[in-house]
Structure 1
Amino acid sequence: MASVVLKGTGQKMPLVGFGLWKVTRSSCADTVYNAIKHGYRLLDGAGDYGNEKEAGEGVARAIKDGLVKREELFITSKLWNTYHAREHVRTLAEYQLKLWGIDYFDLFLIHFPVSLKFVEVEHRYPPEWFGDDGKVYLQDTPIQETWEAMEALHAAGIAKNIGISNFSGALILDLMRYARVHPAVLQIEHHPYLTQEPLVKLAKELGIAITAYSSFGPQSFIEVNMDRDAKLLMDHHIVTQIASAHGKTPAQVLLRWATQRGIAVIPKSNNEQRLMQNLHCIDFNLSPEQIKEISALNHNLRFNDPGDIDVRLSIFA
């Protein structure tokens, strides 16, 4: 399986993984089991997704049935915004490991560069963006404090690799000034409507691997009413024409547009056929001209923007 070698540890991260965002709890264990059965080895989860226990059940069943060994899997999770304070980071990471039923994460990310007021796990988990009254409550915890706590997770073996998600270039450059352990991975929204080329170049220059989420653009956001009425990339004539030329699906073309440039992808599908198609999206190459055609669709259209929730969360302003 094609992979990306992570700087620092040299661990190989699969280039194509399975994303757990929006995978319902009731079907999550079976979905994860089937993903592993069909060859997925990277599972991308997060505390905020609310399905870590069920994902772990799918992993445990796959291991018990001899489909895979734990060390053959690359499991990613993320620290939610309400746990950024130094004293909460390890407690939460260990809690999440218990939900998964595993001893370590292969990769643990700061989900957003946003610190929210602490919420006890016993009170509400996952706590999401809001307090009990539906309002957003910020907390004054600097990223440096959170990152130092992340480094402690790495030192303790709780996370083999640590990284960041939804960070801008300025924040990354600042983090690199004090980080003793550099971030191994940057996870960002990345699709032809939002190519983020300067950020991609910066990460590569710094030796930070990139994972793209929402590779299908608006398709990922329809069911949560965040698609901004954008034309589906799956239906765009440039994408469909290129797919037809290669005898591939539009989804495979969109994934290959990223993976051919060394960017990892984590698509999700509840459909077994599409699940297999997504995994096998690296057995063909787009021409340089086709990559340029797809990249030219960029118009900086971001779908996942916390600033839509509260202007004080405008991390991409």
Structure 2
Amino acid sequence: MMIPTVKLNNGVEMPQLGYGVFQVPNDETAAAVTQALDAGYRSIDTAAAYQNEAGVGQALAASGIDRGDLFITTKLWNADQGYDSTLKAFDTSLSSLGLEYVDLYLIHWPTPARDLYADSWRALEKLYADGRVRAIGVSNFQPDHLDRLSGITPAVNQVELHPYLQQNAVRTYGRDFGIRTEAWSPLAKGGALLSEPVIETLAKEYDRTPAQIVLRWHLQLGNIVIPKSVTPSRIRENLDVFGFTLTDDAITAINTLERAERTGPDPDTFNAA
């Protein structure tokens, strides 16, 4: 299966649909990533904070897949922000992954109380200039956080995004400045979204699962998505979203579900170490 790619603002091509490993225990990560790679995923999203970079690296090493065919993302954790500590943290992540470079490196949260993300961004720019990362970006940044970054424009902003939290301001900012928006928790948490009558009705109409309907909505909006599952059937199901197209009316119906409802932390107040 050929997964479509999106072109980042530096010309790098990134798969529009990838596999996330948030909350997957490290000792289960290699098996989960192997399942994803076998299903056809080539973009894998991890982070230092997930404590499973080593498991991702094990699966990549055992896969036999050419490194050039993979797209690997990891992230800088909050406690490691600052110029020098960012460079050190990146070295640790790279070693854990067993790679010579990563495709995308993100600042995980702005943690505004620290006021260090601008310094961390300068470190990411150095990593990019040195060829150790193919693209750099941020995660959970709001427009006012992005306004404080100078130099290289982030290639990606990864944020919580689903029909209950559509992040219109973030997505508009991204379009205006050439920053691709990537959705974490694209299906929301807790399962309520997938039992929404609007979603269930569309699932019956298109003979698809509710999750496939929501993922297709993301793709047609232009979002990059990284659904996570450790269930082999759902790993495959989440990838099977390219054989149908939602109508404009279906997209509009899903858009009406906006609640400005977060299931994760608020980037303006989250400052955890």
In the alignment, structure 1 residue 290 sits paired with structure 2 residue 261: no
CA distance in structure 2 between the partners assigned to 1:252 and 1:287 by the alignment: 14
| 1:189 CA displacement | 0.4
CA contact (8 A) 2:111 2:271 kept: no
| 1:97 CA displacement | 0.6
Secondary structure of 2:199's aligned partner: helix
> What TM-score does the superposition give when structure 2 sets the normalisation length?
0.95
2:155 maps to 184
In the alignment, structure 1 residue 110 sits paired with structure 2 residue 107: yes
Q: Percent identity?
A: 33
Task: Classify 1:296/1:306 alpha carbon distance in 2 versus 1 (closer, same or farther; 3 Å).
Answer: closer
In the alignment, structure 1 residue 313 sits paired with structure 2 residue 273: no
From 51, 69, 74, the equivalent of 2:71 is 74
CA contact (8 A) 1:305 1:314 kept: no
CA distance in structure 2 between the partners assigned to 1:55 and 1:143 by the alignment: 26
The aligned amino acid for 1:28 is: T
CA contact (8 A) 1:259 1:282 kept: no
| 1:113 CA displacement | 0.2
From 116, 119, 124, the equivalent of 1:142 is 116
CA contact (8 A) 2:29 2:55 kept: yes
Secondary structure of 1:217's aligned partner: coil
Deviations 1:220-253 (A, max 9, x none): xxxxxxxxxxx71111110011011111100000
1:100 maps to 97
| 1:312 CA displacement | 5.2
| 1:314 CA displacement | 7.3
CA contact (8 A) 1:306 1:314 kept: no
In the alignment, structure 1 residue 42 sits paired with structure 2 residue 36: no
CA distance in structure 1 between the partners assigned to 2:71 and 2:271 by the alignment: 31
Of 193-202 and 98-107, more deviation after overlay is shown by: 193-202
CA distance in structure 2 between the partners assigned to 1:21 and 1:5 by the alignment: 25
From 256, 259, 262, the equivalent of 2:216 is 256
The aligned amino acid for 2:88 is: T
CA distance in structure 1 between the partners assigned to 2:169 and 2:27 by the alignment: 40
| 1:306 CA displacement | 5.0
1:7 maps to 9
| Number of aligned residue pairs | 270
Secondary structure of 2:164's aligned partner: coil
CA contact (8 A) 2:29 2:56 kept: yes
From 145, 150, 155, the equivalent of 1:171 is 145
| 1:200 CA displacement | 0.6
Moved over 6 A (4+): none
CA contact (8 A) 2:19 2:43 kept: yes
The aligned amino acid for 1:188 is: V
CA contact (8 A) 1:14 1:74 kept: yes
CA distance in structure 2 between the partners assigned to 1:160 and 1:312 by the alignment: 30
1:86 maps to 83
CA distance in structure 1 between the partners assigned to 2:253 and 2:175 by the alignment: 22
CA distance in structure 2 between the partners assigned to 1:71 and 1:109 by the alignment: 20
CA distance in structure 2 between the partners assigned to 1:280 and 1:252 by the alignment: 7
2:171 maps to 200
CA contact (8 A) 2:74 2:106 kept: yes
Secondary structure of 1:160's aligned partner: strand
2:232 maps to 272
The aligned amino acid for 1:73 is: L
Gaps of 5+ in 2: none
Deviations 1:37-78 (A, max 9, x none): 110000000000011101110111102xxxx11110000000
Secondary structure of 2:102's aligned partner: coil
Of 18-27 and 100-109, more deviation after overlay is shown by: 18-27
In the alignment, structure 1 residue 240 sits paired with structure 2 residue 200: yes
CA contact (8 A) 1:238 1:294 kept: yes
Of 141-150 and 233-242, more deviation after overlay is shown by: 141-150
